[in-house]
Amino acid sequence: MGVPATTFAQTAADLLRQGNIPYKLGGKDLKGMDSAGFISYCLGACGEKARYRSSSEIYQGAGPVHDLDMKRIVPGMIVLSVDSSGKAVYSAICYAPGQAAYPSEKLKALTGFEINAKRFNKMLFCKHVDY
């Protein structure tokens, strides 16, 4: 039994609204985090013990992965950008219909984005989350 998807999504949304959470490679707390740290932090805040070190680790072991399908995405899902070599470059949490949050290296902060095929190409049903 995992955390309810709505709780996981709400945790991500609350952090996004909090603002002022900087991007930090390898970071996993409110002083700074990368996308794997953000997902791990949100799972931990919901009572799930999961520590992912990279988006590739999430892609390879956090649950069933599918090609991005906007009709199937629900809050609490993880969306990923996977390059042509099969490496997950970054991952994000869908916190509201069509919206995802992740710490952006380019923008240097936790940021919300529209989910679209230009930014993401995979989606994942996280094994720690009940959908």
**Separation CA 127–CA 130 (nearest Å):** 8
Q: Residues of the chain with pLDDT > 90: what percent?
A: 94
- CATH code at position 71: 3.90.1720.10
- Going by the DSSP 8-state scheme, the letter that residue 117 receives in this structure is T
Domain that holds residue 17: 3-130
Length of the chain: 131
**pLDDT tens track for 17-58:** 998 999 999 999 999 999 999 999 999 999 998 899 999 999
Q: How many domains does the chain divide into?
A: 1
